[in-house]
Structures are given as structure tokens and as C-alpha cells.
Chains A and B, each alone.
Chain A
Amino acid sequence: MNAIILSALLGVVMMFSGIITNNKSVLKYIAAVGLLLLIAANLLDTYALFKININTHGLLSFEKFGLYFNTLAFGATFIYVCLSGRDVEKAGINVAEYFALIFFVLCGVSILSGFNGLLMLFLGIEILSIPLYILTGADKRNLKSNEASLKYFLMGSFTTGIMLMGIALFYGATGSFALEAPPVIPTMGGINPSFLQVAGLLLLFVAMAFKVSAAPFHFWTPDVYDGAPSVFTSFMATVVKAAGFIAFIRLFQNQSIVLGPSWKIILSFVIIATLLIGNITAVFQQSVKRMLAYSSIAQAGFMLFALFAGNDLSREGIILYSVAYSLATIGIFAVLIKMSDYTFDGFNGLAKKQPVLAFTTTIFLLSLAGIPLTAGFFAKYYMLAAVIKEGGALWLVIIALFFAAVSVYYYFKVIQAMYFKEGEAETTEITGGFKAGLVLLAALVVLVGPWPSIILNWFYF
């Protein structure tokens, strides 16, 4: 509860600090300090040292898994603000508001990691989404940014409608918003879901699939990711996406049995479509930013494995995957923002001009591709191991492996451009601090690689 209250308060504080000071870098520091406070408050909650108790009548429940995810999400945001804070300042004129919106998003994240009823799911999703619609359109004078914002808003609102419909049907069937496991009625041969409940859950599935940009509900992703100011794309593609997955898993961990065997069939269809569309389309992109948008769809395909397996291994796996994917993506976007030209050719010869940027980007790309000794490897490993452990879906794992090999191709295209092609990669001004930040982030990625227990052991403390 600490995190939800504090993040909302900090959002308000950020808004008013815009009145007090016009100095943009001061705002950035306030945001960074705010995030550290948020992490501290959440840790106090996790270890039950100080927690605000409000009776939510079972709508919210805070267990370790969700709280730990909060810490990681706030940590990732902190890294993001440290690395790209300067670029947030450049995204538009209302800097204080951007930081305020980011805090509101984090409020949504903390609700999504702790919701226990559909009402809270809905609130969380909306609190998360509405600031994102605004951030997408932050570059007001850019037509593409406006288009992306409008598209995102319209599609998002439509999905909200679908989600509400699903919630209504679910409520109609069960008479409750609670997400408890459905009662087993032995005389009826196990559980006996009503038609309304199944329909409601399917609608909820569609809405969540939209939020995490799983195919075939992914169509907004490339345009929105491409059109939004890069610095906000970075945030959307990492923290927000991971939170979407946590919510997705929480929603279906008890409910998937309602759908019976068709649950796995539907899900495997979505997984294959997501992997196929994400990976194959990414191969043909000319712009690194669009490639990353499609690759984020492809990565979502892998993250859906956690939903598919639904066991202990996959719960650890989704945390590790979120961290590995977020760290690498934040790093790549931080570099991308500095590039003058977002196409692959724009990266030509970066290794000569900016060896530090090129080297760290290589590490981030290796991690995204899941090469051993980087964080991304164990992330993928946990996902695959979780599904193999569940059994009966080896063919799905084989398809995923095939697409993992495909993904190597487009990630390495960037490495090729940086190292093996001649060119004059133009960047905006790079400060020493930025480079140091990138190196630290890359070091973290390499550290989590052989020792994933750095992230996972906290589960048991």
C-alpha cells in the first residue's frame, strides 16, 4: 500500500514543483530522489517494517511477489531517469508534468502488482494507460507523435470497453469481482463454469493481450512505439510492459482452469502468432526503432510462456525476464535517443566514433538475443524450462527456439552496422556521465548473466 499512496503523492509533488522552479535539471533530480524514496517505502512494506494498512475488503492483496516486482519496476525507472532524464527534458516543454505522469504510471504499476479483484485490475490498467496516452503525444508539434497518441487512445479506449464487458459478464456469472479459484463440484465432474464466465474471461484475455501487445492484438504497437518520443517509448516498452504481464499472470493464475483445455489451445495460438509476427516483421525493418518495436512484440511472445506454464519456475522466470529485458531495452533506447539517424545505416561506424556506446549496446543486444553469460539467457532459459517442466508442449518450445535463432539475425544486424560497416554515425552530444551510466548498466546485465540468483534470491529473504 505504501507504494500506491506514495507514488500518487509524488506525482502531485512533481506537478507542483513545476510551479516552484523552472530549472529542468532540478526537476530531474527531484524525480530521482522521489524514486529512491519510493523504493525505500516499498522495501519497508516488503519487510513489514512500516506499512500503511487500509482495509480494501480483499480487493488488493500485497504478497512478496508483487511487492518485489514493485521494487524492480521502481529500480528500472530509476535507472531510466538517470540515463535518459536529460532527454525527458528535451521531449517537450512541460517537463514537470512528464515526470508527474511517470509517477502516476508507477501508481498503476503498484496496483496491478497487487490487485485481487477485477475492479482493481480495471483501475490499475486505466491509471497506467491514461498517462501513457499523454506521454505518447508529448511532442505536440510532431505529426507522428500526435497520430500515435490518437491511435493509442482510440484503440486503448476500445479495449477498455472490451475489458469492462468482460468484467460485467464475469460479475454476472459469479456475483463477485474476486478472483478466487472456482469451486470444484465433484458431482458435476470437476468445475462447471457458466457460459457467461467463460465469455467474460475470454474478453478479459483479449483486453490483456492488447495491453501486452500480443498478436493478433498488436497492431497499435509499431506505430505507437515509433511515433512516441523515443524516451517515452523506452519507458512503455519496459516497465509498463512488464507490469502488464504481471497483471496478466495474476488474473489468470486461478482462472485458467475455468477455460479448461481450450485455455492452452488459445494461448498457444496467441504465442505462435506473436512470435511469428514479431520476429519475422522485425527482420525486414529499416529503422532500429521500429525493429525494437517489433522485437518487443517478439519478446512478449516469450514472456507469454510464463502464462502458459503457470508454475513456480515461470513465476521466477517472469521476474527475471522482466528485469533482463527492461535493463537491456532501457540501455538500447538510451543510446538510440542520442542517434541522429534511427535507421540501421545511421549506426554505421559507431564503434569507431563512440566505442563505449557501441560496446555497451552490443552487450544489451546480446542480452536481448539471449546469448549465454548475459542476463537474457537465463530469462529465456527459465521460460523454456518452465514449459518443458509442465510437459505436453514441446513442439511449442521448438517453435520458440526457432524464432530465438531468427531474432539473433536482426539484433546482430545492429552490431554489424556498428562494427563492420564504414560510416559516420552521427550522435548528439554524449557526456561522460552518460557513458559511465551505460557501462554500469552493461555491467549489471553481465553480472546477472552468470548469477541470476542476484535477482531471484530476494524471493526467499
Chain B
Amino acid sequence: MEQVLLLLILLPLIGALVTAFSGNYAKHVALFSSIVSLALTTAIVCNFIPDASTQFVVHYPWIGELGIDFHIGIDGISIITVILTNVLVPLIILAGYKHDYRSQNALFALILFMQSGLLVVFTALDAFLFYIGWEAALIPIYFICAVWGGKDRIKVNMKFFVYTIAGSLFMLLGIIYLYLQNPANNFDIQAFYNLNLDEAQQGWIFWAFFIAFAIKMPIFPFHTWQPDAYEQSPTATTMVLSGVMVKMGIFAVIKWLLPFFPAAADKYAQIIIILSVTGMLYASLIAIRQDDIKRLIAYSSIAHIGLMSATLFTNSRVGLEGVMIQMFNHGVNVIGLWIVADTIEQQLGTRKFSDLGGLAQKAPTLAIMLLVMAFANIALPLTNAFIGEFLMFNGLFSYNIWIAAIAGISIILAAVYTLNMVQKVFYGNTTAVTANATDISGNVKLALVVLVLVVIALGVYPQPMIDLTKDTVGATMAGK
């Protein structure tokens, strides 16, 4: 049982290897592998004791002379992201079933490889291992986007890749600096927590780390890679990017930034909150003007992430709990929206509102699913996003009423663009494109039903999720 976490990380790797060599059966193998991972995750969650401790620790020496260890474990913060990853990957693979991807074995193998990298990021207790996972999760994305992406993929992808590499190199710089300050000469996260750097030192390494995370999230003004990358990537990747990848940034701020540099975080909180709120409004306004479902979801995603990043720096426990829940919920909701968008594009060959309309008459099931997802995107009560956004606004409100009020405008804007999309795509008269549309079936339906159930279940009864994280969140806040 002690090594179960190691198994959790190795499983997708083995799955990726098998998938790579299983030709036309690749998608079945990949799905099987991801479901086994999910089962294992369930077992871990059931055995997880919801307190502030780090559990399921696996610790091996790796590169002795540099003090690098293979050291992983799960606490109340990482368990959320681990569940998110392992719930979403099977759904993403399921949603990709119908696609006729060329050399699908490579595609699914890369997705599983990435899953492994993400799990390393979320469970790492060694800064170096964290960095390795951070990069290892990125490389597969590069290849997936560049091979299976849209027509501008090469240019867009290069921008995305160079952007994120530049960011993570700064993080590496910060990690090396902390390592050299550490009298124990290792990369242990606990040792880094106890460093107690003075304010001047904290200042610049804070930014070295923050830029890496801000690019990943992304926070205004580091967001320019995102809409293009989302639009040009194959949907499977877009789902991973927006569902899980951006959570790496949020997660990293909670676990690898705030506890390291509490003084700097307080000092620069205002700048970051203002940037985040600016980004929220900016992205919401642009989303209203979009004529393309994918780009709309991309900008809407920037707005939601902006709220999370603003709340992170308010130094409020309630807000942080909200962020933890919302990390999971945003992942679920955005994946739902992507599946709908992808279904429409697959069937009708267009993503433009101007070409679509009246789809509800032809595809009622899809319309209902989308409506639930849309409500969740606006954070209506009884959907999962409500409780998260409520807690986050609570935190933001306690920080500064005016900022909370300005951020609140984005909720109204979210309703405007989301409902506008629903209306233009699903209601009104059918167009030439949608006249012959049919309803969804099979795998897509299964994936959407699962997501909708999660949305409603967590919207009505979010307590288990809060219980999982609240002690660790409390400890993190106390540690600051």
C-alpha cells in the first residue's frame, strides 16, 4: 500500500508504452489504462484521511550528489488536482473515440504520458522533481498540437512553447537559488518552507516563480498564447490544456509560491489582484465579441482563471477553499463545454455562431447538456461552480470591496456571452448548416452525462470536497 502513489504515476507511463505499440486498438488500451488509474485514484481517495498531513509518501534517493530525491506524496491540496486529472483523462479519451485521428496510437500514448507528468507535478515534494514533471507535461502537448492541430498550428504552437519554456526557465532559476540558500543542500519542499528568506531576497525570486505560473494559468498580460493555442489544438489537447494544465499554475501558486514567499506575496498582492481582475474584465468583454465557440470558451476560461488567481492573493482562508473547489469544478465545466463544441464542429464542420442556429430542434439531448454546462459556467446556484465562486467572492470582498464589485461585473458579462452563445447556436431558426443535424449518441452522450451528474451532485452537496481540503488549506494559511 505504501507504494501506491508510485504505481499511480507509473501506470499511465506503462499505458502509454503499450498504447504506442497497439496500433488500431490504441484507443481501447488508452481508455482501459485511464480507467485503471481512475479506480486506483478512487482507492486512494477512500483511504485518504482528510487532515493536514501528507500521505502515501514515497521517498527514494535519486541524484545523491545534488540532493535530488524522488519524493512524492498527497495532501489535501494535491488530492483535488489528482482526482481532477484522473477523472478527466478517461473522459477526454472517451470524447476522442469518434475522431478519426491519424496515427492515433501516438496521440493517445502522448496523452497518457502527459497524465503521468501532471501527476508528478501534483504530487512532487521535491522542487527538482516538480520542475521535471512541469516540463515533462509540456513536451507531449507540443507534439500533439503540432501534429494534430489546425492549419496555423505550427506558428501558434511555437509561440506557446517558447512562452512556457521561458517561464519555466525562470522558475528553474528560482529553484536553484532556493537550493543554494538551503543549508540541508536538498530540494525538499519542507526545507524550502522553512527557509525564512528576508524580504529583499523574497522579492525577486517571487517574481521568477510567479512569471512561470502566470504564463501557465494564464494571467493578463501573459495570456496571449492561450486563445490561439486553444483554437488551433485538437480538441483532446484543448481539453487537457484548459481542464488540467492551467490548474498547474493555480496549484503551484498555492503549494510552491505562497508558503515560500509570504512577505513578497503580501507585498505584491495588490499588483497581482489588479492584473487578474483587469484580465477578467478584458477577457469577458472580448468573449462577448467572439463568433467562434472555441474562442469564446477560451476567453471565458481566462476570465474564470483570473478570479481564481485574484482570490489566491487575498490571504483569506475562505477564498482559498473556494479556489480549491473551483479548480476542480472549472475543470469539469470547461471539459463539458469543449465536448459540446467539438461535437458540433465534428458534425457540422463549423464553429461559427453565424452559421448555426436552431440546433435544439434537431439535437435536444445535446441542447439540454449544453444548457446545464452553460449554467455551471455562469455559476448559477445548484450547479457546482456556484459554491466555489461564492467562497471566492467572499474572500475577495474581505480584501477590498471595490475590487470585489468590479470583479462581480464579470459574472454579469459571463451570463451575457454564455447565454448569447446558447441562444445563437441552439435556438432560433435552423440554418442551411444545421438543417440535417442529428442528436448525440454513444460515447459523447456517456461522457456528457457523467459530467452533468458531477455538476449537479457537487452543486447540491459540495461538502465532501470541502472536507477533503479544508484542513490542509487551514494549515497552509497558518503556515504563512
**Do A and B truly interact?**
yes
Residues of A near B161 (CB, < 8 A) are 408, 412
The reply to whether B132 and A420 form a contact with Cβ atoms under 8 Å apart is no
C-alpha spacing A372/B177, complex, angstroms: 18
Contact partner of A405 (CB less than 8 A), chosen from B146, B165, B176, B177, is B165
C-alpha spacing A388/B173, complex, angstroms: 9
Residues of A near B139 (CB, < 8 A) are 366, 371
C-alpha spacing A401/B177, complex, angstroms: 14
Q: Which residue of B lies closest to A419 (CB)?
A: B147
| Chain B, interface SS category | helix
Contact partner of B65 (CB less than 8 A), chosen from A372, A401, A456, is A456
Within 8 A of A (CB), among B129-149: 131-132, 135-136, 139, 142-143, 146-147
Q: Is A86 an interface residue (CB 8 A)?
A: no
| Chain A, interface SS category | helix
The reply to whether A385 and B65 form a contact with Cβ atoms under 8 Å apart is no
Distance of A181 from chain B, by nearest CB (Å) = 26
Contact with B along A359-376 (1 / 0, CB 8 A): 000000010000111000
Q: Is A452 an interface residue (CB 8 A)?
A: yes
The reply to whether B173 and A398 form a contact with Cβ atoms under 8 Å apart is yes
Q: Give the size of the chain B interface in residues (CB under 8 angstroms).
A: 28
The reply to whether A388 and B180 form a contact with Cβ atoms under 8 Å apart is yes
Distance of A371 from chain B, by nearest CB (Å) = 6
The reply to whether A385 and B158 form a contact with Cβ atoms under 8 Å apart is no
Q: Is B46 an interface residue (CB 8 A)?
A: no
The reply to whether A409 and B162 form a contact with Cβ atoms under 8 Å apart is yes
Residues of A near B176 (CB, < 8 A) are 381, 384-385, 388
Q: Is B170 an interface residue (CB 8 A)?
A: yes
Given A388-B180, A420-B153, CB of A451 within 8 Å of CB of B63: yes
Q: Is B380 an interface residue (CB 8 A)?
A: no
Q: Is B435 an interface residue (CB 8 A)?
A: no
C-alpha spacing A197/B147, complex, angstroms: 59
Given A398-B173, A420-B153, CB of A372 within 8 Å of CB of B131: yes
The reply to whether A397 and B173 form a contact with Cβ atoms under 8 Å apart is yes
C-alpha spacing A408/B266, complex, angstroms: 35
Distance of B318 from chain A, by nearest CB (Å) = 37
Within 8 A of B (CB), among A349-408: 366, 371-373, 381, 384-385, 388-389, 394, 397-398, 401-402, 404-406, 408
Residues of B near A17 (CB, < 8 A) are none
The reply to whether A384 and B147 form a contact with Cβ atoms under 8 Å apart is no
A-B contact pairs, 21 of them (CB 8 A): A371-B135, A371-B139, A372-B136, A381-B172, A384-B176, A385-B179, A385-B180, A388-B177, A394-B177, A401-B169, A401-B172, A405-B166, A405-B169, A408-B165, A416-B146, A419-B146, A419-B147, A420-B147, A450-B132, A453-B63, A453-B65
Give residues in B with beta carbon < 8 Å to A: 62-65, 131-132, 135-136, 139, 142-143, 146-147, 153-154, 158, 161-162, 165-166, 169-170, 172-173, 176-177, 179-180
**Given A371-B135, A372-B136, A421-B154; 5 other pairs, CB 8 A cutoff:** A388-B173, A388-B176, A401-B173, A402-B166, A419-B147
